[in-house]
Amino acid sequence: MTFPLFPAGNACPQKERLAPGAVFLHGFALREETSILTALRQITAEAPFRHMLTPGGRRMSVAMTNCGPLGWISDRSGYRYGPVDPESGKRWPAMPEAFLRLAIDAANEAGFPSFRPDACLVNRYEAGTKLSLHQDRDERDFSQPIVSVSLGIPAVFLFGGEKRADKAERIPVAHGDVIVWGGPARLRFHGVLPLKAAVHPVCGPYRINLTFRKAG
Ligand code: SIN
Ligand code: FE2
């Protein structure tokens, strides 16, 4: 007897519910892998990774860049979204078609069919880099979800509760994995544990994370 749960062409063989409004799509980005990595190289050629400053003046250990109409920026005057890369004075690179398709498809798969991101933050981690627990709350409309795509070396994603002190679940993430959180999960605290040294055949010693949001 066969179980045609995942008919041919279904790009999401493993969908795991993490919490109400939060879904883990294992390997969901793999089908677009080549076009995503090609587009990523073009973005970082135009808008190279940089270590932004926190409002307190500390250099962030995660290197960042952006694509899309709005980019997430941190500096001494605070956190915000803006259309222009402060390093170049030019607009952030356009959101590649493959990125947009991936984000919309993942959100749809997770139950958010009207997601239309206007911002993609690209984070680069290396061994030892971590991201402290935080909420994503610089966006205007919390009815829109977050779509987070993991590429490169493995990491442990922390998925916490609505309060910083709530216990966070530890979720191993690997190349191609996508996590979507929205609705009742939209303001859950999240972060990334310090990365262990590793080498990925395509991304080298790095983990790259694409975070898609509707910011404006
Ligand atoms: C973020 O919260 O901005 C990124 C999370 C991640 O790198 O997985
Ligand atoms: Fe975040």
In a domain, 9, yes or no: no
22-50: string of b/e by CB count within 10 Å (b at 16+)? bbbbbbbbeebbeebbebbeebbebbeee
Q: Is the pLDDT of residue 56 over 70?
A: yes
Interval 126-148 mean pLDDT = 95
Assessment of whether the complete model's pTM goes beyond 0.85: yes
Confidence at 6, pLDDT banded by 50, 70, 90: low
pLDDT confidence of residue 97: 97
In a domain, 7, yes or no: no
The DSSP letter of residue 190 is: E
Structure tokens at 125: 């981690």
Residues in contact with ligand 1 by the CB-under-6-Å rule are 121, 123, 131, 148, 157, 190, 192, 209, 211
In a domain, 158, yes or no: yes
Distance 7 CA to ligand 2 centre (A): 33
Structure tokens at 61: 């250990």
pLDDT confidence of residue 12: 53
Q: Which of 24, 148, 170 to mutate to test the pocket of ligand 1 (most atoms within 8 A of CB)?
A: 148
Tens-digit pLDDT profile for residues 168-190? 999 999 999 999 999 999 999 99
Q: How many CA atoms lie within 13 A of 27 on its CB side?
A: 6
In a domain, 72, yes or no: no
In a domain, 89, yes or no: no
The boundaries of the domain holding residue 192 are 15-47+61-66+95-213
Q: Which of 79, 188, 192 to mutate to test the pocket of ligand 1 (most atoms within 8 A of CB)?
A: 192
In a domain, 190, yes or no: yes
Domain count, the chain: 1
Tens-digit pLDDT profile for residues 73-118? 999 999 999 999 999 999 999 999 999 999 999 999 999 999 999 9
Instruction: Assign 70 to helix, strand or coil.
Output: strand
